Chains A and B, each alone.
Chain A
Amino acid sequence: MIPSALHPVRVHGAAIAGARFLLVCCLRNEAPRLAAFLAHYRALGVDHFLVIDNVSTDGGPERVLAEPDCSLWRAPGSYRAAAFGMDWCHRLLDAHGRGKWCLTVDLDEFLVHPHAGERGLPGLTRHMDKIGQPALFTVLLDCYGPGRLSDTPLADGADPRQVCPCFDRFNFTQRLGKHRDHLWVQGGVRQRRFFADAPDEAPALNKLPLVRWERGLRYVSSTHFLNRPGHNLFLSGHPEAVSGVLLHYKFVAGLIDKSAEEVQRREHYAGAAEYRSYAMRGDVVLHDPQVSLRYDGPAQLERLGFMQRGTWF
């Protein structure tokens, strides 16, 4: 079986062609997350969702088919062999995304930008177009609940922002990548709780989820960076640029079982080393009263220095 094979299930060609903002995501047994995810990105201004189903068995694809603004593809191949899903995403982005602003996110990632809540993608991308910013740099901010992992269940359709309101206000490191073509951010609760002894092995937190797609553009290592240094490092040279935060809602009760499964499946990065680490720690409390803050909107993230509005007035 060709790992990158994609089979269209239902594709709204005209709607995709007419859309200004597209969102590409991979789905694997994440049906309970769908409702809040779609609602968040619809409010942001996404016109059409391109969903890739990697052999879900929980009825997620059927729910996607019930949504009028979603197109669905089936990817029966291996997630790992498809470069952790990126090969599938690239095929859709190349076919439908050229010249458009495209979001590539996971179902547990919620984009927040300066002025979020009152403005959305039209204003954000207008500013980026105006100053020539090709991609939005974001920090993946891990969110968690106030109690044990097993005390933070994500019910079907629940808003993860209610379940996981906390995040680490500091504990971040940053360095330049090997070829000086991207920045490598690590830290947050994952480094504090799971990688304290080996912080350099903690997962990367730099992401470029929103980019104006063009020919030859490729994500490298999930959506952590692109094959263009100018896209990756734009924020450092341009004080007028805008940046964002991807709120990450991975740490819910289901993670304990999921980690055990993913360690067996070995379909994730570096032999699912990250999931092995979660499985080892088991049912942990991630909250620390001296480090954790409750999420209080985009202005708080700007004040804490997680993102900037640049010259977007």
Chain B
Amino acid sequence: MTLAPSESAPMPEPLPAPKPAPMPIALLMLCHEPPEALAPVWQWPWLSDPAVRLYVHYDAARSEPEFARLRASVPQGLPVTFLTDRVRGHWGGYGLVEATQRLMACALADPAFQPAYLQLLSGSCMPMRPLAALREFLTRRCGMEFIQSVDVSVEPWVRSGLEAERFRFWHPFDFKRQRPLFEAAVWLQRKLKVWREPPEGLRPRLGSQWFCITRETAAAVLQGLARPDWRRYFERCWIPDEMAIQTLVAQACPSAFIAGHNLTYLEFDEHGQPLVLENGHGDHLRRQPFFFARKIAPEAAALRAELIERQRPHRPDAPGEAPGTRLDPELDLGWFEQAGRPTGHYQRFLARAQLQPQARSHLGTSTDTWRGLMLHAHRPYVVLIGSAPGHVRAVAAAARARLPGWPLFDHVFAPGALDPVADGLPLHGLQPTLRARRDLDPAAFLHELVHLDDAQPTAFALDPAVESWARGFIVWDRQALVIDLDPPGLSPAQRGSAALRGMGSTHRYEPPRQMIAALAARHWMPTEFFAEALREGKLLCTVQPLSATPPEPLATALAPLLQALRDGAAAVDAWAWYPPEAAARAWLDGDESALPPLPHERQGSAR
């Protein structure tokens, strides 16, 4: 092309570099889907590019009428070539290599089209980036072979199952239809220490079936497959589609030209099962530095439509272009080394589903009759304990006044009645009518209690002197922060008298004999249930006074709640609920008038 010098321009402009012809790319497709399922392929924007051709091998397992229907479904003018000489591909057999070989031969034999690269696809694969991005990528790395080719004597490649046995043993039986015979043959050959040697000059390599290789290498591979001895060797290996071409590419190219990965995103879980791509996986695919996506579910029409949109050439000036449609040409190649292994995103998802209780459903996942729904609970919560229930309630009320609307409750596990809040307000839907179901399934009730509010943690009072499921469970719950509100330095008599007087007010029943006996024997009292568990080390929950700082996961989660409790406790005169030592002793000995009245009694007399 020449540029006529413009007369008006005094200085001749430098000639623009001639625009190179776009790199021709051949897409080879192995497919066996029903003709209707392949209809979306004909809508790929890639196929409207003048330098792209699609060669299709339709599995011979599909009938001639189906093949005719498939050919008829292709719109006029698309660069699609069908191989009429079809073979049947069994999983694990040589048919897939044969079909690939014919596709390669067909693409190379086309005199009008000299592809620079040949990319192998299946009927469930799809390009997921603009063709220009792939061209840019291949131009920058021209001459590289994008294929996995692993020498398994040096590093393992197969995640689970046979590896070197694939080519060291003989495999006369079909894996899927003659499974017991297949297994028996492998077992026997292992016993007999069978060791098939490859033909002279061949060094077996394994790798994923999908590849993108240069025309020159493809021609060398075809030459290799044309050698009768090599071909016979591959025919008698197991899963040769993951071996024959991989071996021959390594034979034909210096290893520096083998990238060691392909351009197709495919992913396996920990059981070696492929991840099937479904609707909703678009954002995940966007993050993957590949050009093709593999294993798209037949019914995932929305995902196909999304990927078709992403194939369209992007304009850099287009506003609001979705990020990630353009692949960074200088992308770190280390990304690709992960090909075929779980990506971080998927791996984290799997780990979370397996390990984290947050991922589990509340209902249906626990058959533990004691822990019940609390088996998978994961929210930290505060339990307020103290010898004088009145004092605990006063602190809870003071904190509630500082944090209106937060789930802060009184003695919700008190036997007999359910009074979630002293003033009778229904807080977070917790009502006295729930008593029957609390007693039916206290674990479900506690679960509900600690998950009441999405954002704010729960606190509730618990009388440590009362034996209940909740008291027994909380001792063993790591998520529980038990706060002892008793002032420091209380004597057993002070604790005991405060507890005994408070009991009537919390839960209307007789003071337990156990407690009186404990007092008489100077043994630890039921009010000291948690303190005793702490002394003996028989607990998993955290027990501490309000002033102490809890251990880390709890401290952050509960910080505002603890601050409100501290402020509330400072505003309440604790000593109003605890009698002096002498008065406590006298009261326990039977002098009913020895104790000063409690705060609420004083208020009552004033009214």
Contacts and interface: CB of A to CB of B under 8 A. Distances in A.
Interface string B367-390: 101001100000000000000000
Contacts of A126: 276, 297
A175 interface: yes
B368 to A, nearest CB: 9
Contact of A172 (B354, B363, B365): B363
A119 B354 contact: no
A118 B280 contact: yes
Interface in B329-364: 346, 349-350, 353-355, 359-364
Contact of A196 (B350, B436, B441, B448): B436
Shortest beta-carbon contacts, A-B, top 4 = A290-B429, A305-B362, A173-B441, A199-B437
Given A174-B444, A187-B437, A235-B364, 12 more contacts: A123-B279, A123-B297, A123-B300, A130-B273, A139-B364, A172-B444, A196-B436, A197-B436, A307-B361, A308-B361, A313-B275, A313-B284
B297 A171 contact: no
B367 A118 contact: no
B369 A176 contact: yes
> Interface residues of A: mostly helix, strand, loop or mixed?
loop
Interface residues of A, number: 48
Instruction: Tell me which of B300, B354, B365, B428 has the highest count of chain A C-beta atoms within 10 A of its own C-beta.
Output: B365
Contacts of B302: 118
> Interface residues of B: mostly helix, strand, loop or mixed?
loop
B363 A115 contact: no
B299 interface: yes
A123 B278 contact: yes
A291 B428 CA distance: 7
Contact of A308 (B346, B350, B359, B369): B359
B364 A118 contact: no
A239 interface: yes
B88 interface: no
B533 interface: no
B366 A196 contact: no
16 contacts: A119-B280, A120-B299, A122-B297, A172-B444, A174-B364, A175-B372, A185-B363, A192-B434, A196-B436, A198-B436, A233-B367, A239-B360, A240-B354, A243-B361, A308-B353, A313-B275
Contacts of A291: 429
Contacts, number: 133
B448 A171 contact: yes
A115 B278 contact: yes
Contact of B366 (A172, A236, A307): A236
B426 interface: yes
A192 B281 CA distance: 39
A200 B452 CA distance: 22
A173 B437 contact: yes
Given A290-B429, A305-B362, A174 B373 contact: yes
A239 B362 contact: no
Interface in A144-184: 170-176, 180, 183
A306 interface: yes
Contacts of A308: 353, 359-361, 365
A57 interface: no
Contacts of B426: 290
A240 B356 CA distance: 11
A183 B364 contact: yes
A199 B299 contact: no
Instruction: Tell me which of A170, A185, A243, A304 has the highest count of chain B C-beta atoms within 10 A of its own C-beta.
Output: A170
Interface string B424-449: 00101100011011001100100010
Interface string A210-230: 000000000000000000000
A196 B350 CA distance: 40
A180 B354 contact: no
Contact of A137 (B349, B364, B373): B364
A65 to B, nearest CB: 28
Contacts of B355: 239
B40 to A, nearest CB: 16
A309 interface: yes
Interface string A291-310: 10000000000001111111
A306 B434 contact: no
Given A119-B279, A122-B298, A290-B429, A171 B437 contact: yes
Contacts of A309: 353, 359
B49 interface: no
A118 B277 CA distance: 12
A115 B284 CA distance: 15
Interface in B437-466: 437, 440-441, 444, 448, 451-452
A175 B353 contact: no
Interface string A194-211: 001111100000100000
A4 interface: no
A134 interface: no
Nearest to B358: A305
Interface in A119-141: 119-120, 122-123, 126, 130, 137, 139
A239 B354 contact: yes
Contacts of A187: 437, 444
A175 B365 contact: no
Contacts of B279: 115, 118-119, 123
A173 B440 contact: yes
A175 B359 CA distance: 21
A117 B297 CA distance: 16
A175 B441 contact: yes
Instruction: Tell me which of B300, B363, B367, B373 has the highest count of chain A C-beta atoms within 10 A of its own C-beta.
Output: B363
Nearest to A200: B440
A176 B353 CA distance: 24
A172 B441 CA distance: 9
A288 interface: yes
